[in-house]
Structure 1
Amino acid sequence: MTVPNPLFLTQRRMPDKQMPVGLSRFQRLLLVTDGTVTEMLEQYLEEKIKVKKLYEKIEPDFQQVFAHHQPWLDQGIEPVMQREILLQGQSSLNNWVHAESTVLLNHLNQGFRTDLLGSREPIGCLWEKYQVETFKSILDFEQRAAGAELADHFRITPQDQVISRTYSVYSGGKLIMIITETFPNLFFRN
């Protein structure tokens, strides 16, 4: 049995940007986890989390892909699915996380694709259901003003700060998704 090099374990690849300071432990965990955010939220909030789909479209034109995902994608990867969702508390109906996904449909198996398009299951739950082995790599962190649309989803002011992370998801050595998850700085502080 090979013992992992402890230096390697402490030198995870992170974006060049400095991690936002002043975050709670749970906020920092949400930013760096390579597990499913849905399960973490369910444990932290003590309620079931459901998906509220805001937008979903199969996009044949690379120029229509979310602009902040384009730098990490190659042109000619079409078709892709653009998906925008909220992770919402099933009983509280609070919107906890906003997520935008660019999904490379040709890199997914048929059952996963069908459920992704037809169900309201979080992507992380589908990974488990189909036993998809994934590798995630953090690409970017951001802290900025919410703006009108996110403020409306989270019931905050447009000037309130939101925190986001963008990461790539690989399976079988192929890029399958780019995901950006965003939540208000006011959430998960305790």
Structure 2
Amino acid sequence: MHRYAGRAALAPSPPPFRCDGFTRDGVITAISGASLSLSALPPFLRALLVTDGTVTKILEAYFWEPVVVDTLEQRFESAQEPIPWIQLEAGDTCLARDARLRGTDSNRSFADAFSLIRIGLIPPGFRQRLIDREIGIGVLIRDSGLESYREVLDVGLDHTAEGASAVFRTYRIFIDSQPVILITEYFPLDLYRGGA
């Protein structure tokens, strides 16, 4: 959860890509201060940053292979400090989940994802499927027929779990008009530039 400590205060306001998928002079930055023009990103990676659809299905269509969500770790955690993006207060418990979106034919890692889920605000059947790690969050929401809304909050530069340069996006998912899930996806730059 520490990755969100104070990040909301640093994120652009209004959130990026709320109304547009195009920002002529758009730049993404790292906490270190390094920056990169959005126009320098591969077109498909720009599309991933702005999408409000299920990333797994988009990756399958682009790379033309099945993509699975491997849950690497899942645990219940108590927030050490508030996370305003999903109205989480210090001491509140949520489900934290580390996952990887992987092509089953190539075994390539297309993205790493970290999620915080306010588990108490999710319907019981949906909650159990999440805890049981049945499928990815996006597919689970779609298959459950839950009405939801996704809002991109932040984009920037960082690193994957393996240390490779990555572009990330953080977004939240509203269910029943409440911010319930916060997800940060990390896309390795070399892969999308054709170097992996």
- TM-score, normalised by the number of residues in structure 2: 0.76
Relative distance call for 1:79 and 1:187 in structure 2 (3 A) is: same
User: Which residue, out of 83, 100, 118, partners 1:70?
Assistant: 83
Offset at residue 71 of structure 1 (A): 4.5
Of residues 137, 155, 161, the one that matches 1:150 is 161
Report the count of equivalent residues. 165
Q: How far does residue 13 in structure 1 lie from its aligned partner after superposition?
A: 7.0
Structure 2, unmatched stretches of 5+, are: 1-16, 29-36
1:58 equivalent in alignment to 2:63: no
- Matching residue of 1:131: 145
Which of 145, 149, 165 lines up with 2:169 in the alignment?
165
Q: Secondary structure at the residue paired with 1:113? A: helix
Aligned-residue CA RMSD (Å): 2.5
Question: CA–CA distance in 2 between the matches of 1:13 and 1:177?
Answer: 23
**Residue in structure 2 matched with residue 116 of structure 1 by the alignment:** 130
In 1, Cα distance between the equivalents of 2:20 and 2:175? 18
**Structure 1 34/50 Cα, relative in aligned 2: closer, same or farther at 3 Å?**
same
Sequence identity (%): 29
**Aligned position for 1:6:** none
1:174, distance to aligned residue in structure 2 (A):
0.8
2:156 aligned partner, one-letter code: E
Counterpart amino acid of residue 112 in structure 2 = H
1:166 and 1:38 mapped to 2: Cα distance? 16
Whole-Å separation in 2 of the counterparts to 1:77 and 1:134: 26
Q: Offset of 1:78 from its aligned partner?
A: 2.7
2:195 is aligned with 1:186: no
Indicate conservation of the 8 Å contact 2:75/2:96, yes or no.
yes
Query: Is the 1:107–1:175 Cα contact (8 Å) retained in structure 2?
Result: no
Q: Which runs of 5+ in 1 are unaligned?
A: 1-9, 152-157
Aligned counterpart, 2:67? 49
* Distance (whole Å) between structure 2 residues aligned to residue 27 and residue 143 of structure 1: 13
Counterpart of 2:98 in structure 1 is: 84
Return the match for 1:33 from 17, 26, 51.
51
- How many Å apart are 1:46 and its aligned residue? 0.7
Q: Is the 8 A contact 1:52 1:120 kept in 2?
A: no
Partner-residue secondary structure (3-state), 1:166: strand
Distance apart, 1:187 and its partner CA: 2.0
Shift of 1:11: 6.8
C-alpha contact (below 8 Å) 1:49/1:89 kept by paired residues:
yes
Is the partner of 2:69 in helix, strand or coil?
strand
